[in-house]
Structure 1
Amino acid sequence: MRPASLMIFGAGFGTRMRPLTDDRPKPLIEVAGRPLIDHALALAPDAGIRRIAVNAHYRADQLAAHLADRPGLTVLRETEALLDTGGGLRNALPVLGEAPVFTLNSDAVWTGPNPLCTLANAWAPAKMDGLLLLIPPERATGHSGKGDFLIGPDGRLRRGPGAIYSGAGILKTDGLAEIPERIFSLNRLWDGMLSKGRLYGILHCGGWCDVGHPGGIAEAEALLAGQGDV
C-alpha cells in the first residue's frame, strides 16, 4: 500500500541563500515564477497524497500565511527550537499518522517522472524500512560533493561516495521512538535501517537541481526551461 502522507521540510534558516533569505524563508524563494514550496507541493496530487505537514521555524509567519487554507495541509511551527529533519518528522506524526510517509526537502526542482510516484511504485514494505530517491552525480545540477550512498545490486544502500540523496524518500517512522534526543537528523533513523539491511535506494531518471545558493536559481530555471517541469 502506498503512503498517503507527506512531510515537507521548510524550517531551515536558508543561510547559504543569503541575502535572499534576509527577509523571507527559503521555501518562499521563487524559481521560474513560483516559490520553491509550491514546486514541492505540485508533486503531491499525482502521488495520491491526502495529508501534508510542513514544518516552519525561520520567519514561520510568512510561510504559514502563504500556505493558509490549503486543504489537507498543516503547518507545524517549531517555535522554541529548530528540530532538524528527524525531530521535525517525529513532531509531525500526530498529523501524518503511523503509516509510512513520504518525505521531501523544499529546496529542489525536478524534471522527468514525478519523484514521489517513482518512490511509490518501487516501495516494498515487506523488505524495506526506507526507500530513498537518489541522483546520479552527472545529473545533480547545483550540487558539489562526493555523493552519499552506494546502491547494491539488490537496491540496498550503504554509506559511501556515489549517488546523491535527492531529498525525497519513503520512511517507516517506528524507529523514531527509539531516538532519545529531541533534535536530530534523519541520518539517525537511516543508520538504524542501514544496520538491519532495510534501507534501499532507487535512481531518479530525470533532472534535479539543488537550489542551495542564489546562483542555483538560474541553474534551476535553465533546467526547467530545457526539459519541462514535473
Structure 2
Amino acid sequence: MTLPVLMFAAGFGTRMGALTRERPKPLIEVAGRPLIDHALDLVQGIGATQIVANAHYKAGMLAAHLEPRGVAISQEVPDILETGGGLKAALPLLGDDTVITLNTDAIWKGPNPLAQLLAQWDPARMDALLICVPVARTVGREKGGDFCLDAEGRISRSGDYVYGGAQVIATAEVAGHEGRVFSMNEVWDRIAARGRLFGAVYSGRWCDVGHPEGIRIAENLLSEPDV
C-alpha cells in the first residue's frame, strides 16, 4: 500500500536563531545534508510517488531544492497556516482520502517509521495513527512525553510517549474543519473523542532538531552503529 505524503516544511525555525536568517529550517544541514533530505529518504523508502511539501518562509528556496526531486509545493500565502491548516490547504494536491504527514525536523535511527505506520494502519478502527517514541528512546529530549497509550494503542494526553512527527490520517476531519489556520491538535482531540486516535510505538531512536545544539546531538545519533 502506498499513500500520498505531506512533508511539513513551512515553519520559521525561530529557535535556530541565526541559522535560519538566510535559509529555511528544512535546508539546515545535519551530517552534510539538508534536514529535509533525511525526511525525503524516509518518504522514498516506502515507494511514495505523490509527495508534497508545504512552504511559507523562504518558500522559493525550498521549491528550488525540492521540485527537481519530484516534490510538489503547497505554498502558504499570505499567512502560515499551522499544521492542520497546512494539511487542509494541501489536500487538492494530495487527494481527499488518507495521507501520511511527516515533520522534517527530526532524525531517526532504526526502522523506517513510515513503513511501521503503514504496517499497523487499520482504517476499520482508526482515523489517525501517530508514531509515538518512548521518552527513554529519545535523544536530547528535555521534557516529558505527549501521550499515553492504552492496551489497544488508543491515545490520550500526557504520558511517557513523544509524538515523533509522523502519522497516517484520514482527511475527512481536516477537510471539514471550519477554520483556515488551525493545529493538528484540534483534529486529534476530535478524533480521540470518538475513540479512533491510535499510536504506533517506534522501535528505534529519535532526535528532534529544534535548536542549534540539536544538530550536534542528531549527528552523534547518526554516527552510532546500527543495533
TM-score (norm 2): 0.97
Aligned equivalents of 1:30, 1:60: Cα separation in 2: 17
RMSD over aligned Cα atoms: 1.3
Amino acid at match of 1:132: L
Runs of 4+ in structure 1 displaced over 6 angstroms? none
Q: Which residues of structure 1 form unaligned runs of 5+?
A: none
> Residue deviations 1:28-53, cap 9 Å, x none?
00000100000000011221211111
User: In the alignment, does 2:161 pair up with 1:151?
Assistant: no
User: In the alignment, does 2:5 pair up with 1:20?
Assistant: no
Aligned equivalents of 1:108, 1:177: Cα separation in 2: 26
Amino acid at match of 1:64: A
- 2:61 aligns with 62
- 2:110 aligns with 112
Residues 3 and 100 of structure 1: CA distance in aligned 2, closer, same or farther (over 3 Å): farther
Aligned equivalents of 2:160, 2:90: Cα separation in 1: 31
User: In the alignment, does 2:6 pair up with 1:7?
Assistant: yes
**Counterparts of residues 160-199 of structure 1 (less than 5 Å):** 160-199=158-197
Contact 1:190-1:199 at 8 Å conserved across structures: yes
SS in 1 for 2:42: coil
Aligned equivalents of 1:206, 1:109: Cα separation in 2: 11
Contact 1:8-1:53 at 8 Å conserved across structures: yes
2:217 to 193, 216, 219: 219
Aligned equivalents of 2:225, 2:181: Cα separation in 1: 38
Aligned equivalents of 2:128, 2:142: Cα separation in 1: 25
Aligned equivalents of 2:152, 2:215: Cα separation in 1: 36
Aligned equivalents of 1:137, 1:31: Cα separation in 2: 22
Q: Identity percentage over the alignment?
A: 50
- 1:132 aligns with 130
> Residue deviations 1:124-165, cap 9 Å, x none?
110000000011111111222221110000011111132000
CA apart distance, 1:107: 0.1
Residues 227 and 192 of structure 1: CA distance in aligned 2, closer, same or farther (over 3 Å): farther
Q: What is the number of equivalent residue pairs in this alignment?
A: 227
> Residue deviations 1:160-187, cap 9 Å, x none?
1320000001000101133211100001
CA apart distance, 1:59: 0.8
CA apart distance, 1:3: 4.3
Amino acid at match of 1:140: T
Aligned equivalents of 1:6, 1:55: Cα separation in 2: 11
